[in-house]
Chains A and B, each alone.
Chain A
Amino acid sequence: MPDLKMAETAAKPASAEVLSVSDLQAWYGESHILHGINFNVKAGEVVTLLGRNGAGKTTTLKSVMGIIGKRSGSIRFNGTDITRASSDRIARLGIAFCPEERGIFASLDVRENLLLPPVVRSGGLSLDQIFELFPNLKERLNSQGTKLSGGEQQMLAIARILRTGARFLMLDEPTEGLAPVIIQQIGHTIARLKSEGFTILLVEQNFRFASTVADRYYIVEHGKVIDGFANSELSANMDKLHTYLGV
């Protein structure tokens, strides 16, 4: 058995592309939002999509998740074409999504919110591991989901997708509107998840936060990926980045 396991590992090297997106186009009703997005995410990486408001970052995540009605191009996840798949099928393939608005359900208590996403495969975090990451949640289990503070809601939104066994996480602006101390805690969480082998696709406006966790960046503008570089090339690209983000 150990041999077999090694063979499997060898067949799927650490740099295997988990997600590859090419020429992704997407529409909201009549408006054409994405005009050809190209990027990829390799196993174990944290990749961040940067860009101004309205550039198409969130739409990109939603397209990968299958919740934008009209999309074309190609999205492959672990070799499977998911361009036209329904979002419930995509989720069951092992992609977990944490939306920008957090999506905590008001009619569910914290425990129900936490247990809502079904387990799609084994290997997810246990509740004990989740409470170790987010001790606050354990004390609030019986509260109504939306009675939590913004930071606690964000923790809950991340915590509930860690249970499912999905190894590929998409986090849409997890630090938006949160206090620095909470942002720091979320940063630690992402680093911890990365060290445990999760692959993470992050959308961020907060570039300083992104730079503490990301391996690579893609710049999205007007529905296209216009640039990309690794964290090690960051200082060389600082000027360009300021222009792109207008900061």
Chain B
Amino acid sequence: MQALYAQLLVGLINGSFYALLSLGLAVIFGMLNIINFAHGALYMMGAFCAYFLLNLTGIGYWWALIIAPVAVGIFGMILERTMLQWLAGLDHLYGLLLTFGIALIVQGVFQNYFGSSGLPYAIPDYPEIGGFRGLQGGMNLGFMFLPIYRGWVVVFSLVVCLATWFLIEKTRLGAYLRAATENPTLVRAFGINVPRMITLTYGLGVGLAALAGVLSAPINQVRPLMGADLIIVVFAVVVIGGMGSIMGSIITGFALGVIEGLTKYFYPEASNTVVFVLMVLVLLVKPTGLTGRAA
């Protein structure tokens, strides 16, 4: 039973990353109509940003959670202003090729300087509260041992996902965003600066990816190809969930992480392929994905 819970937890952790990344992809696709293949590279940049902050300036994990998403988000907005914006109105293929190219370049540069092995990033050991040293250590829940950092990642990711959902589905700003996804021309004709909104949306999606990168650094180490490995599964998640819905991508992200975890327990041989098998099944039955709208 212990092993089952452990795999369930691993599943939830992976699900957190899937959810944060596919959420960003869905937001970006809705607004920019671009399938952002650079997402994995930007996730990796988030982790590296945390690594640089710690090792070059001594700025620790908690500040990195804020600084890295903002910094990588700004990098994303520069990409959007200088390159992606010119693809508006063109076929998806162009955006896919451009962002794929950006991903290869970014990953190549990091690989050139840091090789392919992982750089360590320690779990924060501050602040000390009631016997706990930051997020280090763990606690015995009775039925399993829970490493605190892993529990933190799941809870914090869930909070960030729900906050993003709230922002988009329940606020005034979100209404602009949803409306501009449907009919940018008319929203602009109401006096809203849609191009600026598009840039900020890309920044938001990229920032979520970078945040996932920071969260993952203490668990998976910091590697130039950490995003390249993850993004393939994330795209399968997006295909299964469908691009149309925010809540859809959150739920699908977590659910597929859990399914993967359970598969690791019950039939480990299939754990690396189960997501892709599900993707094929969903594509056969409902090509727009479980929650997606027809394009």
Contacts and interface: CB of A to CB of B under 8 A. Distances in A.
B188 A118 contact: no
A107 B194 CA distance: 17
Nearest to A95: B189
A67 B178 contact: no
A88 B194 contact: yes
Interface in A84-114: 86-88, 90-92, 96-97, 99, 103, 105-108, 112
Contacts of B190: 88, 91, 96, 116-118, 161, 164
Given A103-B183, A105-B183, A107-B181, A87 B189 contact: yes
B175 interface: yes
Contacts of B172: 115
A137 interface: no
Given A116-B176, A116-B179, A92 B189 contact: no
B189 A116 contact: no
A105 B179 contact: yes
**Residue of B178, B185, B191 contacting most chain A CB atoms (<10 Å):** B191
Nearest to A92: B191
Nearest to B244: A107
Interface in B156-208: 172, 175-176, 178-179, 181-183, 185-194
Nearest to B186: A103
A77 to B, nearest CB: 14
B191 A116 contact: no
Contact of A164 (B179, B186, B191): B191
Nearest to B174: A112
B178 A118 contact: no
Given A87-B185, A99-B186, A115-B172, A107 B191 contact: no
Interface residues of B, number: 18
Given A88-B194, A112-B175, A116-B176, A97 B182 contact: no
Contacts of A96: 190
A130 to B, nearest CB: 16
A117 B185 CA distance: 13
Given A88-B193, A103-B183, A108 B188 contact: no
Contact of B191 (A67, A99, A103, A118): A118
Interface residues of A, number: 25
B187 A97 contact: no
Contacts of B193: 88
Contact residues of A: prevailing secondary structure: loop
A88 B188 CA distance: 5
B211 to A, nearest CB: 25
Given A115-B172, A115-B175, A107 B182 contact: yes
Contact of B179 (A67, A97, A107): A107
B183 to A, nearest CB: 6
Contacts of A164: 190-191
B181 to A, nearest CB: 7
Given A112-B175, A115-B172, A106 B182 contact: yes
Contacts of A107: 178-179, 181-182
A151 interface: no
A178 to B, nearest CB: 20
A93 B181 CA distance: 24
A91 B179 contact: no
A44 interface: no
A90 B178 CA distance: 22
Contact of A105 (B178, B191, B192, B194): B178
Interface string A135-178: 00000000000000000000000000100100000000000000
Given A88-B193, A92-B191, A108 B185 contact: no
A92 B176 CA distance: 16
5 tightest A-B CB contacts, nearest first? A91-B191, A117-B190, A107-B178, A112-B175, A87-B189
Given A67-B189, A107-B179, A107-B181, 9 more contacts: A66-B189, A87-B189, A91-B189, A91-B190, A91-B191, A105-B182, A112-B175, A115-B172, A116-B175
7 contacts: A65-B189, A88-B191, A91-B189, A105-B179, A106-B182, A118-B190, A161-B190
